[in-house]
Amino acid sequence: MSLLAYSGLMGLTALERLAELVVSKRNLAWSLTQGGVEHGFSHFPFMVVLHTAFLIGCVAEPWLMDRPFVPWLGWPCLVLAVACQGLRWWCITTLGQQWNTRVVIVPGMERVTGGPYRYFNHPNYVAVVVEGLVLPLIHTAWLTAAIFTVLNALLLTVRIHIENQALASLETA
């Protein structure tokens, strides 16, 4: 895969993220009109910065450090990245109006246990973690993969703790 094609793929990934933000904004507004309560906003700006820097790093590292495309690594990583998109959108469609990029609990709603949530408590984060490794490695941006993975692990430790506490309020309501 040429560097130009990879950059195009990353452009498409950025557009997909923008589509997610449109869906998230709409769903957040719905949740708030239903009496939704946001939990743990303080970590959210760091998440936005990290994920934005990740997409930039995926493109910048191969261009600036002349990273090659290694077929035995790049093609399987591309397949996994596409699979991550499938899992991400399965999560989004399963949660429906309850999905957004923030942690918002609507009182009285039941916890979703269908779709990918019957297999994992946080399937979207499985997609995020795998994608954080494979998307940059499509074009051997290993520094981006390593740095994002470490920082994302720290952030997800906070995020999942906040989500678990918020979701526990549904189970006791």
The whole-number average pLDDT for the span 147-170 is: 94
Pairing mode of beta strands 37-38, 104-105: antiparallel
Q: Predicted confidence band at 170 (pLDDT cuts at 50, 70, 90)?
A: confident
Tokens of 155: 């952030």
Query: Mind listing the pLDDT tens digit for each residue in 120-156?
Result: 999 999 999 999 999 999 999 999 999 999 999 999 9
pLDDT tens digit string along 35-84?
A: 999 999 999 999 999 999 999 999 999 999 999 999 999 999 999 999 99
Pair 50, 153: CB distance under 8 Å: no
* Residue-level pLDDT at 171: 63
Which burial class, exposed, middle or buried, applies to 42 when counting CB atoms under 10 A from its CB (0-12, 13-18, 19+)?
exposed
Supply the pLDDT for residue 172.
Answer: 53
Tell me the C-alpha distance between 39 and 51, whole Å.
20
Question: Residue 9 pLDDT more than 80?
Answer: yes
pLDDT tens string 10-36: 999 999 999 999 999 999 999 999 999
pLDDT of amino acid 173: 47
| CATH code for position 60 | 1.20.120.1630
Residue with tokens 């720290």: 154
| CA–CA distance, 150 with 35 (Å, rounded to integer) | 35
For the chain, what is the HEC assignment?
CCHHHHHHHHHHHHHHHHHHHHHHHHHHHHHHHCCCEECCHHHHHHHHHHHHHHHHHHHHHHHHCCCCCCHHHHHHHHHHHHHHHHHHHHHHHHHHHHCCCCCEECCCCCCCCCHHHHCCCCHHHHHHHHHHHHHHHCCCCHHHHHHHHHHHHHHHHHHHHHHHHHHHHHHHC
Quote the pLDDT of residue 169: 83
Q: How many domains does the chain have?
A: 1
Provide the domain limits for residue 57: 3-172
